[in-house]
Every structure is written in structure tokens, then in C-alpha cells.
Amino acid sequence: MRTRVFAAVSAVALVLAIVVVVRARRTDPIRVATATATEGPVTRQVLAAGTLEPARMVEVSVQVSGTIAELRADFNTVVKAGQIIARLDPSVYQSQLEAARGQLAQARAETAQMQTTVDDTKRKLERAKELASQQLIAQSELDDARIAAEQAAANLRGRRAAIKSAQAAVKQAEVDLDRTVVRSPIDGIVVNRAVDVGQTVAASFQSPTLFTIADVRAMNLLTEVNEGEIGGVQKGSEVAFQVESLGAETFHGKVTDVRLQPYADQAGQVVAVATSGTTGGATATGTAGSSGGPNANNAASAVSNTTSASGSSSSTATTPGAVTYTAVVGVDNPDGRLAPGGTAIVTLTSGVKAHVVRLPNTALSFRPSPAVLERIGQKDVPASGAAEAGEGRTRVSQVWRFENNRFVPVDVVTGLSDDQWTEMVSGPVQPGDALVTSAAVAGH
């Protein structure tokens, strides 16, 4: 009896072992994930640091010297063009105006007196001519009368010129007096006040600044762009940015200018170049798995932090003598929320290819591991042919197909990249082809 029971148990155990072995053989030894190549646009987005400044900002100074008697504006005061914002002590200039007016009155009185002399010499000359025609006076007397008349006329012309000079002096004195009243030249907001009541200011070749007034309704975002990316930045392209002090709100603007003046950090700087956006997920085939696949210090740190938070791909390196250029972004600011001097993290376009074959970035970063190759019994594959292949961003890269339980390398020439896709310049990959993005040993 025991023999029969033992035999039956052994038979059941043998059947279970056979089933386990068969199922193990049917289970895929590795898990592979793929994504397909597509056709469409590639837009490279670059993160950079920028600083906000008003598109129009005026430093208000004085044109005459004096003592500040009154201030009608302070920090953050909203002013209109022509509004009085300060006054100098006008007493000196009032005195000068009165003196100029007195000189003008004197010149007019002297001119009137000289006019009388001219009229008298003219009458005497006419009488002398009449007497000379009758030979009642000598010719010398006639000559003396003529000379006296001409001299009087010349003196009158001189007095009239003195009147014009006195009138100019009065006008200048009036202008100087008016300049003791300081007015705002533009509509805007006072962002700086550099004087106090009682302070003496002197008008000179470089007059001291009293106020700095900014029109903050239109702002310029000065963005520092690495020399490797500036070539793709075009006027009119859309720009998005965030200001740390305003939270996660996104603002928009357009590139209005790309300045050609380079800035080089001779001591070395941290250059953060990143593509912004979110990386699309891979599409799994029958077997799925995973594998590894501007420029102040504060601004560079902010770029790095923003890149990490958004899940974008980025590279950061210390580059001695790195060169940057300034892209000017025009921003409308009708509500005045954007403050001058604010630091922004800017996302701008540095290159666009409208209609190309696109390779998933995850496929370009994949390479099968030795453990995966060993599990499927595939010998080592050729080394990657990735290398520079021409000017610009063009390079030779490698992607992989998984066919007949084998990894097949495919060399491609790639170009522009964004956060999800890379342009294929040339290669045997067509839209819709499945490319490996990850592979791992089953059960790991």
C-alpha cells in the first residue's frame, strides 16, 4: 500500500516539475521596451537666465546749480510727464532776472535818448546843406554836420543791439529760474531718489542724478545665451519665462534683438544648457522592462534647479572663458507686476526643424548591457560609432532594433535635438520603425 502511495506522489511531482520547466522555457528571458520613430517638427528649447529692466528709463538731473528746497516725489511714486517732482531755491535766479530786466530798461532808455540825438543831427545836417548851397557857411562846417549825423546814427544802432542783448539776458534768466523747477520727462515710476531737501547740487558737464524714472509698462528681458545656442535664436520668436518672486506663473514675450557684443568670463563659469519640457514615455512591445538610458552664480543655480524640477534633460559644465551673448526679449507689463532688476528663468527657442524624421532621445541613449546580451546568448556587439560628423550639431549616433531575439545596431547621422526628439539627418530608419529604449533581464 505504501509503495503505491509513494509511486503516485512521485508521479505527480514529476509532472509538476515538467510543467515548471516548460513554462520557464516559454517565459521571455529579457524585457524590452521600444518607441517608434516619427515624422514632425523638432524645436529646441533652451533654459537661460535673464534680468528684467524697463525698456525706457531716464535719469533726471538739474541744469542749474542750487539747493534742494522741495521734493515732491519719492521711491515708487507714480508720475506723469511734466509733473513737478522737485524745486531748487529760486532766490538767486529771481535776483538775476530782476537785474537783467533792469539792464533791459536802461538799454531802452539810452536808445530813446540816442534817437533824440539822431533826430537833432539830421536837422542840423539839413540846415547846413541849405546854407552851404547859398555859400553862407564853409564846406568844413557842412562836413562836420554830416559826420555828426552819421556818428549819431551809428550810436543808435549800437544801442538797439544792446537792447537785443539785454532781452536775451532776460530770457536766459527766465529760463534759469524756470529750471529751478524739476519736472518728470516721462510717464513712469520713480525707482531711485538720490537727493534730500537741503542738499546742494551743482550743474556741470556731468550733472548729479536726482531721480531715476522708469516706464515699466514695457520691459526688456536681457537674457544671457551661450555661444553654442545663440545662432538659433531669431528675432520675433516666442519666449516664456518665470520670475522667482512671482511663483510658478509663466509670462511671455518676443525676441526683439540679438546683440552681437560677446561677454567672456575669463575666470571660468558654470554654464547650464538644458532643454525644457517633459519626456514622453516609451511604448512597450510584447516584452517590457527598463534600463538606464547665463551667468551669475545665483542665476546659474536657478537654471539648474528649474531644470531638475521640470524633468528635462540638461548638462552643466564649468567652462573657462565661456562666451555668452545677450538676447533682448520685449515684454508687455501693463499692470506693472514685473519689477525692474528681477531675475527670470527664460525658455527660448534656439532652433527649429519643421518636417523631419524624429528619433526618440531614449532610443539614442540606449545600449544593451552585458547581462542582457548574455541572457539571450548574443555575443558582444560592435562599439558605438557616435562621433562628430560635420559642422554644427550634426553627429553620428547609434540606435538599436530588436529582431529575432537579437539586438541590431543602426548607425544614424543626427542633428537638432529637443527634450523628446532628435532630428535624423540620414540613416536607414523610417517613421514607424520600433527602436529599443530599454532592456533588462526578466525578473530584475
pLDDT at residue 306, as a whole number? 37
363 part of a folded domain: yes
- Residues 286, 239 share a domain: yes
Higher pLDDT, 21 or 29: 29
Which tens digits make up the pLDDT trace of 90-104?
Answer: 999 999 999 999 999
The Cα–Cα gap between 435 and 325 comes to 38
pLDDT of 19 above 70: no
Which tens digits make up the pLDDT trace of 241-290?
Answer: 999 889 899 999 999 999 989 988 655 444 443 444 333 333 333 333 33
pLDDT of 327 above 90: yes
The Cα–Cα gap between 257 and 233 comes to 10
Name the band, by pLDDT with cuts 50, 70 and 90, for residue 209.
very high
- Residues 117, 72 share a domain: no
pLDDT at residue 65, as a whole number? 94
**Of 207, 226, 256, which closes a domain?**
207
Query: Residue 417: which of 236, 279, 269 has the closest Cα?
Result: 279
199 part of a folded domain: yes
- Residues 159, 75 share a domain: no
- Residues 47, 172 share a domain: no
Three-state SS annotation for 296-316: CHHHHHHHHHHHHHHCCCEEE
- Residues 271, 389 share a domain: no
The Cα–Cα gap between 401 and 17 comes to 36
- Residues 199, 75 share a domain: yes
- Residues 327, 226 share a domain: yes
Name the band, by pLDDT with cuts 50, 70 and 90, for residue 201.
very high
Residue 80 belongs to domain spanning: 63-88+180-207
Instruction: Tell me the sheet residues that pair with 388.
Output: 395
Average pLDDT over residues 175-197: 95
380 part of a folded domain: yes
pLDDT at residue 383, as a whole number? 61
pLDDT at residue 444, as a whole number? 59
- Residues 121, 255 share a domain: no
- Residues 398, 315 share a domain: no
Retrieve residue 198's grid coordinates: 537741503
**Of 353, 372, 387, which closes a domain?**
353
pLDDT of 389 above 80: no
2 part of a folded domain: no
Overall pTM surpassing 0.75 (yes/no): no
Query: Residue 252: which of 175, 118, 344 has the closest Cα?
Result: 344
Q: State how many domains the chain has.
A: 4
Retrieve residue 161's grid coordinates: 543791439
Retrieve residue 179's grid coordinates: 529750471
- Residues 114, 81 share a domain: no
pLDDT of 172 above 50: yes
19 part of a folded domain: no
Distance between terminal CA atoms of the chain? 46
**Of 132, 163, 179, which closes a domain?**
179
Query: What DSSP line would sit under 408-435, residue for residue?
Result: EEEEEEEEEE-SSEEEEEESS--TT-EE
- Please report, for the domain that includes residue 194, its CATH number: 2.40.50.100
> Who contacts 247 (Cβ-Cβ below 8 Å, separation ≥6)?
none
Chain-wide mean pLDDT for the chain?
A: 81
- Residues 316, 251 share a domain: yes
Residue 351, phi-psi category: left (phi > 0), alpha (psi -120 to 50), beta (remainder): left
393 part of a folded domain: yes
- Please report, for the domain that includes residue 226, its CATH number: 2.40.30.170
128 part of a folded domain: yes
* Integer angstrom CA distances of residue 103 from 163, 167, 170, 220, 361: 9, 9, 9, 53, 86
1 part of a folded domain: no
- Please report, for the domain that includes residue 369, its CATH number: 2.40.420
Q: Which residue has the cell 537783467?
A: 100
- Residues 190, 154 share a domain: no
